[in-house]
Amino acid sequence: MEKLLRNEKIAVAWRQSGANGSLPYSLIVHAYSNVQFDARPAPGLAEGLGATATLTASLTEYDVPLASAAMVWTDIVGPDQKEFSLKLDDVGPGAYLATFKTLSAGVYSCRVRAEGYSSAQTKFTREKRLTAIVYPRRLRHHPSPTRMTAFVICWTVSSPKRRLAKWE
């Protein structure tokens, strides 16, 4: 630290940062483990109010379903920004499932997590973020990429009244 502060530019930047005896840093760690976690929304898209959305998750160790039980749960933030949690049920070796009713159309952000012990009795924690999309029922056909692109451009560059007129 003393050697760094001898450099006038570093010393000035450090004093101006208000770090008070420490240096700001960022750390990213990449690691590999034989315990693998995967989670995903079920294929297909839920449609409208009251539709059922499904989340699945799997835990494997050395590419074999995890033999020991684990706790798997998700924290979900709906389009209305309300958050709720769900426990995924153990439906077989290393397989987990949860369903929930959608309250409105939009994007549901899901933080799926798992905790348990490997076959070597080493504790593990895994996490994956998912996005589930619920379309309004009034859209009989899901937008094609071209139509969706046109909608996004229309939504971002036009006024609110014109947005609805162009979309309907």
| 13-17, 91-95, 118-122, 143-147: range with lowest mean pLDDT | 143-147
Correct CATH for 35-137 of 1.50.40.10, 2.40.110.10, 2.60.40.1930, 1.10.10.10: 2.60.40.1930
Evaluate if residue 150 carries a pLDDT over 60: no
Question: Residue 25: its pLDDT value, please?
Answer: 72
Task: Write phi, then psi, for 142 (nearest 5 degrees).
Answer: -65, 140
Count the neighbouring beta carbons within 10 Å of the beta carbon of residue 29.
Answer: 4
How do the domains of the chain map onto residue ranges? 35-137, 138-168
Amino acid code (one letter) for 117: Y
Q: Is 140 left (phi over 0), alpha (psi -120 to 50) or beta?
A: alpha
Question: Residue 163: its pLDDT value, please?
Answer: 40
User: How many Å apart are CA 71 and CA 89, to the nearest integer?
Assistant: 9
Residue 158's pLDDT band, with cuts at 50, 70 and 90, is very low
Question: Residue 26: its pLDDT value, please?
Answer: 77
User: pLDDT: is 143 or 116 the higher one?
Assistant: 116
Place of tokens 């397989």: 95
Residue 48's pLDDT band, with cuts at 50, 70 and 90, is low
User: How many Å apart are CA 140 and CA 34, to the nearest integer?
Assistant: 44
Q: What are the tens digits of pLDDT across the range 54-67?
A: 999 999 999 999 98
The order of strands in the sheet holding 123-135 is 46-47, 123-135, 106-117, 70-77, 83-87
Q: What are the tens digits of pLDDT across the range 65-121?
A: 998 999 999 999 999 999 999 999 999 999 999 999 888 888 889 999 999 999 999
Q: Which alpha helices (H) appear in 7-71, and where do they start and end?
A: 8-17
